[in-house]
Amino acid sequence: MVKKQIEKQKLPNQTLLSMLTPIGVEMKRNSLIMGENLAKIYGIVKYPQKVDYGWLSKLTNVPKTITSITFNPVDSSDFMDSISSSIIRNRSDAVYNKDPLLQKRAERAALDGDKMIESIDGDNQSIGAMSLSIMPLSKDDKDFEKVCRKTQSAIASSKCKGRVLANLQEQAFKNLSPYYRRHKDIGNILQRVMPMSTFVGGYPFSTSGYSDGRGYYFAKDSSGGLVVLDTWKRGGDRTNSNFTILGVAGVGKSTVVKHLAISEYMKGTRILFIDPESEYRELCQALGGDVINAGGGSNGRINPLQIRDIPAINEDDEAEGLGAMALHLKNVEVFFNLYMELTEIQKALLKSALIELYNKFKIHWDTDIKPLRNDDFPIMKDLYELILDKSKEETNHKELATLLKDIAIGGDSFLFGGHSSIKAESRCVCLDTFSLQNASDNVKKTQYFNLLTWCWNEMSKDRTEPVLLIADEAYLMIDQRVPQSLVFLRDVAKRARKYEAGLTIVSHSVVDFLAPPIRMYGQALLDIPCFKVLLGTDGKNLTELKELYNLTDAEEALLAQKKRGDGLLMVGSKRLHVNFHIPSYKFDYMGSSGGR
């Protein structure tokens, strides 16, 4: 045991050893040879006017490079005088310069100067002189050229300006090395004055990672850097808070969903689950939420004929200014088309009967439905009896009454027949439909749509409360005969952002969304979310994903491995290979059904 410990202590860090004690150092005009390594030192001579949080990470995490950063606090008075003079000069240029482009630039520069003075003088912020140098090194000529190109690319993508310190490689090497003092000549070339907050704000440069500057820990990238997301952040290509989470069974899909739900709940977001597999009930109970048996339970009935005060889901309907009853009739039409096949004549007769029924209950096109209670609306039995009465005189009504009998007073009336009994006021609601597992596909699809319309009401009724709807096994919504159900889901994804809400689509199947008859709607539904989590998959699903998201060969290979917890995260246009290291305390909430 002692011998093994001694052997471990003898193993040196070869990279650090080569840096501290190279065999020899040969200086050239634009490069140097350090032992067996080729090297070149770049200096940053210009920085962008505006930077994002963690901006230094692009410069300090280029593989096979060594970076040196110095920051020396300085007296702010001279700097303030310089900014004041610059503001006066820029304001003059903004007024008297004849070139419109130069005028605009001068205006922006003057405004930036004002903000800088306010930050330094008003907030009493410290300033300092920062210098940054980067040294790529490699033993191989071709690899060295590649590292140099990566360094130049990192400098350019950070909107900085860099230069090779020609004829100063020896001084730059001493300035960068830990066993020399800072070199005055290099400092004069590289030092730039900036606020302390700008320097500290770039501090996530110990790892690459990704950060929105606030939010919560979501995952780790391939280098071990933290991925911190604020899913409600807007700007640039971040236009919504929607998620797409895709992957075959066993790759960690449920774990990611529960991790996301717990994180959002801790931030104050209200969570709604549509749960066909009863995977989220234990999580919901652990969070003190409402678990509702939406598969026929006494506390989970949603009357399909109850009109809700919800905004138009379609922009054309919104433009027309349709009332609550007119909007609801469109949803009821989709509901019945999912439940049963109707001829065009039967559809027309059903719509006419619905209007007559609502009028009997004193509900008209312009009725304000806000004051109405659940039992003020008709139920399926009322509709059935009205059509049955009409069938005494007309054959088509008789056929329609026969089709409606099951949903009104027959085997499916336990689910759809009766006044709404659902009550869900907590911040976490699980709509559990597991008891419908053995029901027919048309019943499952119809109830899924019924639940979705109720959820849209919950999502849109309060614009000040963030709400996240998690629709698990969303492929159940798909019916190629009735593409309107998928259109409704797509429109929820498009309009949720206007009501401080988000939609999370969870599915193991991509192919179902991209079937030719409904591809234009399914593709939009998968593409609208700003956040996409792609976990392991294979076969036709992988082929469709590659085409849909234009995956690289490396990204395709990552998903094909189907390694649990590994996947591809898309945040807007940015893509990250991530691993979901979930904090252990979260598993205490997740329960025993999936996501363990």
pLDDT at position 22 is 66
Handedness of CA 279, 285, 288, 289 (dihedral sign): positive
Task: Let me know: does 562 contact 534? Beta carbons within 8 Å.
Answer: no
- Asked whether residue 565 is domain-assigned, the answer is yes
**Is residue 254 included in any domain, yes or no?**
yes
**61-109 confidence digits (pLDDT tens):** 788 888 888 888 887 776 677 777 778 887 888 787 778 777 787 787 7
Do 373 and 414 lie in a common domain? yes
Distance in angstroms (rounded) separating the CA atoms of residues 508 and 119? 50
Give yes or no: residues 44 and 127 share one domain.
yes
Same-domain status, 158 and 80:
yes
d(CA 167, CA 371): 82
Look at residue 148 and tell me whether its pLDDT is greater than 90: yes
Lowest mean pLDDT among 73-77, 155-159, 293-297: 73-77
Residue 196: pLDDT above 90? Answer: no
Q: What is the pLDDT of residue 226?
A: 87
Report whether 370 contacts 309 (CB < 8 A).
yes
Torsion of CA 575, 230, 593, 446, to 10 degrees: -90
Is the model's pLDDT at 13 over the cut of 60? no
Q: Are residues 149 and 23 in the same domain?
A: yes
Does 408 share its domain with 447?
no
Percent of the chain with pLDDT over 70: 91
Confidence (pLDDT) at 120 = 66
Nearest-angstrom CA–CA distance, 206 and 208: 7
**Count of domains in the chain?**
3
Compute the average pLDDT of residues 559-567: 94
pLDDT greater than 90 at residue 402: yes
Total H helices, total E strands in the chain? 23, 20
Residue 7 has pLDDT above 60, yes or no: no
**Whole-number percent of the chain with pLDDT over 90:** 54
Domain of 68?
2-201
Residues 92 and 153 in one domain: yes
Nearby residues of 398 by Cβ (< 8 Å), 6 or more positions away: 391
**pLDDT tens track for 356-391:** 999 999 999 999 999 999 999 999 999 999 999 998
More confident residue, 20 or 295: 295
Among residues 351, 385, 419, the one where a domain terminates is: 419
pLDDT for the residue numbered 192: 85
If asked whether residues 307 and 408 sit together in one domain, one would say yes
Q: In the sheet that 428-432 helps form, which strands lie side by side, from edge to edge?
A: 210-211, 226-229, 216-221, 574-579, 566-571, 531-535, 243-246, 501-507, 467-471, 270-275, 428-432, 290-293
Examine residue 215 and state whether it is found in any structural domain, yes or no.
Answer: no
End residue of a domain, out of 419, 444, 461: 419
CATH classification of the domain holding 371: 1.10.8.730
Neighbouring CB atoms inside 10 A of 58's CB total 20
Q: pLDDT tens for residues 473-489?
A: 888 878 888 888 888 99
Both tokens assigned to 116 = 């800088």
Q: In the predicted model, what is the mean pLDDT of the chain?
A: 87
Q: Measuring CA to CA, how many Å separate 138 from each of 28, 63, 88, 371, 500?
A: 16, 10, 49, 75, 50
CA distance 327 to 261: 31
- What average pLDDT does this structure show over 263-270? 96
CATH number for the domain including 508?
3.40.50.300
Mean pLDDT, residues 115-137: 78
Same domain, 33 and 161: yes
**Is the domain of 295 the same as that of 307?**
no
Within 10 Å of residue 402's Cβ, how many Cβ atoms?
Answer: 13
Centre a 10 Å sphere on the Cβ of residue 103 and count the other Cβ atoms it contains. Answer: 16
In a domain, 333, yes or no: yes
Q: Are residues 136 and 53 located together in one domain of the fold?
A: yes
Q: Which residue has the higher pLDDT, 75 or 546?
A: 546
Confidence of residue 208 (pLDDT cuts 50, 70, 90): low
| 69 and 126 inside one domain | yes
Tell me if 486 is assigned to some domain: yes
Q: Pick the closest to residue 520 from 560, 559, 548 (CA basis).
A: 548
Q: How far apart are CA 148 and CA 166, in angstroms?
A: 15
Over residues 386-401, mean pLDDT: 89
- Binned at pLDDT 50, 70 and 90, residue 318 comes out as low
* Residue 207 within a domain: no
Tokens of 273: 């689950």
- Classify residue 217 as exposed, middle or buried by CB count within 10 Å of its CB (0-12, 13-18, 19+): middle
Structural domain contains residue 234: no
Same domain, 69 and 163: yes
| Domain final residue pick, 419, 450, 467 | 419
